[in-house]
């Protein structure tokens, strides 16, 4: 079954046939987590770097924000029995407009916060496709744990 | 005949808006429309009337007794909220169908238009703007030129995107180079044919080059549009291949944190609109 992860959304699954997908990642970040030992996988699509913008809303929906979203995804996966050493984490998005003067910084800030949260949690990024001025679609294929990125009509494995 | 002339010829063949939409736009522009006028208008417009009642009876507004009459609903919600519903319902749907040449599935451009309208309103409010609310209609229709080019002229945006990407240039610039006209100008010509007020036409015409327009509304639409495109809401095949205007972004003067707050509120507003319109 295919599950669509919207903006500020999360999904974890252990269904061997499932595909998780999130569309039009711009400056937002998409993160996939896959545990090849227990065949558990998850995906988030977070819009803004820091939850301090609205702590109340972050409690209600942590996946709006990269800091709380990433932490919450990891916690969910651990609660399902996964161990940190088994996790394969991949990252996409954090794009920007053609913005040489860096008038907007959401993409780069999302990227920085994501790296920081993963660093604090002792997790290495196994693959990433970030930056530039393109919108990306991100897939996690539960059948084999592949994360793929589709952009401008072309799909490639991360 | 040049490609540009051919396109302008085709724009003239686009059917006019229904009368109710034109009335709604006129209503919103009259600065001090009375609540009684709004009520009267809604009594003849079952679509928006139903949504006004739906909103007033939703969890975020209803405090006790259900509201059953349009008059009470209008009083409870207030002018601005009611006008938003009327516009979104009567003008917004122009952008609902899929836009083929730009690879926008059904409802994507509509969502993008709504989120830009919400953003323009938030930014205008932060500026304590006293100018009449031209940015709402302009926000809803800023990309109507994509429908003109993608649907009526059947332009294929794909090769233009290749050029924009390879040369790292804004997509609208490449449109203009290849077609002789970009989607902003195509939209403005359509709205001119539809006899829209100058301020709205201008905001649509210059939403990618706001420094060319004397009106504040253009800046608000530009900044909101930039944020929406950047975050990926309703982006077409051209992705984030646009340049924000330094002048406009500086003029609205939002700090990093304020920009993120505006972005946050745009998403919250979109989620409410989606609930209201059952998307």
Q: Which domain holds residue A123?
A: 2-150
The predicted pLDDT at position B86 comes to: 84
Rounded distance between C-alpha atoms, residue A135 and residue A23, angstroms: 8
Give the integer Cα–Cα distance in Å for A118 and A121.
5
The helix or strand, by DSSP H or E, that contains position A154, with its residue range, turns out to be strand A154-157
Interface residue of A57, A97, A152 to substitute, partner B, most B CBs within 10 Å: A97
For residue B174, what pLDDT is reported? Answer: 96
- Six-digit token string for B106: 């059904």
Can you tell me the distance from the alpha carbon of B12 to that of A157, in angstroms, rounded to the nearest whole number?
46
Interface touch A98/B242, C-beta < 8 Å = yes
Average of per-residue pLDDT across A111-136: 96
Render pLDDT for A52-90 as a digit per residue (tens, 0 to 9): 999 998 999 999 999 999 999 999 999 999 999 999 999
pTM for this predicted structure: 0.91
Q: Is residue A158 part of a domain?
A: no
Contacts of B259 in chain A (CB under 8 A): 104-106
pLDDT confidence bin for B31, thresholds 50/70/90: low
* Residue closest to A140 by CA, chosen among A73, A84, A80: A73
Q: Is residue A20 part of a domain?
A: yes
Min distance B68 CA to chain A CA atoms (Å): 31
Instruction: Specify the number of domains making up chain A.
Output: 1
Domains located in chain B, CATH noted: 3-17+91-276 (1.10.3210.10)
- The residue whose two tokens read 């589709």 is A150
CA B121 to chain centre: 11
pLDDT tens for residues B210-254?
999 999 999 999 999 999 999 988 777 788 999 999 999 999 999
**Chain B residues interacting with chain A (CB cutoff of 8 angstroms):** 161, 165, 168-170, 226-227, 229-233, 235, 237, 239-244, 246, 249-250, 256-257, 259-261, 263-264, 267-268
User: How many other C-beta atoms can be found within 10 angstroms of the C-beta atom of residue B180?
Assistant: 15
Is the model's pLDDT at B131 over the cut of 80? no
Please state the rounded mean pLDDT for residues A3-28. 96
Structure-token match 């990125």, residue found: A149
Q: Known catalytic residues of A?
A: 28
User: From the CA of B33, how many Å to the nearest CA of chain A?
Assistant: 35
User: What residues of chain A lie within 8 A of the CB of B256, using their CB?
Assistant: 105, 109
Contacts of A107 in chain B (CB under 8 A): 230
A155 within a domain of the structure (yes/no): no
Q: Are B263 and B191 in contact (CB under 8 A)?
A: no
Distance CA A19, CA B55 (A): 36
Instruction: Give B96's pLDDT tier (boundaries 50, 70, 90).
Output: confident
Nearest-CA residue of chain A relative to B165? A133
A157 occurs within a structural domain: no
ipTM here:
0.93
Q: Give the CATH number, domain containing residue A29.
A: 3.30.1330.200
Residues of chain A with Cβ-Cβ distance to B261 below 8 Å are: 53
Residues 6+ apart with CB under 8 A from B125: none
Strands A136-141 and A19-25: antiparallel
């Amino acid at each position: 079954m295919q599950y669509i992860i919207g903006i500020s959304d999360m999904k974890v699954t252990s269904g061997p046939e499932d595909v998780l997908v999130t569309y039009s990642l711009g400056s937002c970040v998409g993160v996939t987590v896959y545990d090849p030992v227990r065949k558990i996988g998850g995906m988030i699509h977070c819009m803004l770097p820091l939850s301090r913008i609205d702590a109340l809303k972050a409690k209600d929906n942590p996946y709006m924000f990269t800091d709380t979203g990433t932490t919450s995804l990891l916690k969910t996966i651990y609660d399902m029995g996964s161990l940190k050493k088994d996790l394969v984490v991949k990252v996409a998005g954090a794009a920007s407009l053609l913005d040489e003067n860096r008038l907007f910084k959401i993409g780069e800030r999302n990227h920085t916060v994501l790296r920081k949260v993963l660093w604090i949690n002792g997790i290495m990024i196994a693959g990433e496709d970030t930056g530039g001025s393109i919108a990306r679609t991100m897939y996690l294929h539960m059948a084999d744990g592949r994360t793929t990125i589709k952009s401008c009509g072309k799909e490639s494995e991360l | 005949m040049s490609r540009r002339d051919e396109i302008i010829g085709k724009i003239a063949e686009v059917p006019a808006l229904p009368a109710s939409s034109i009335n709604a736009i006129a209503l919103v522009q009259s600065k001090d429309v009375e609540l009684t006028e709004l009520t009267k208008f809604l009594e003849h417009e079952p679509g928006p009337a139903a949504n006004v009642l739906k909103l007033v009876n939703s969890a975020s507004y209803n405090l006790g007794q259900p509201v059953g009459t349009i008059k009470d609903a209008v009083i409870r919600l207030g002018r601005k909220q009611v006008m938003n519903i009327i516009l979104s319902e009567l003008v917004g749907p122009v952008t609902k169908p899929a836009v083929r040449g730009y690879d926008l599935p059904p409802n994507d451009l509509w969502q993008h238009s709504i989120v830009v309208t919400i953003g323009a309103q938030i930014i205008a409010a932060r500026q304590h703007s006293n100018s009449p609310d031209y940015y709402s209609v302009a926000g809803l229709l800023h990309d109507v030129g994509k429908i003109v080019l993608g649907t009526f002229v059947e332009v294929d945006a794909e090769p233009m995107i290749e050029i924009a990407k390879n040369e790292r240039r804004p997509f609208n610039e490449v449109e203009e180079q290849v077609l002789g006209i970009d989607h902003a100008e195509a939209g403005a010509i359509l709205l001119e044919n539809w006899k829209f007020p100058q301020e709205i036409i201008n905001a649509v015409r210059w939403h990618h080059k706001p420094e060319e327009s004397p009106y504040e509304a253009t800046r608000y639409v530009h900044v909101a549009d930039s944020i929406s495109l950047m975050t990926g809401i309703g982006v077409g095949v051209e992705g984030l291949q646009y340049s924000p205007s330094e002048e406009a972004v500086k003029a609205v003067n939002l700090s990093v944190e304020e920009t993120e707050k505006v972005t946050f509120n745009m998403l919250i507003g979109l989620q409410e609109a989606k609930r209201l319109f059952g998307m």
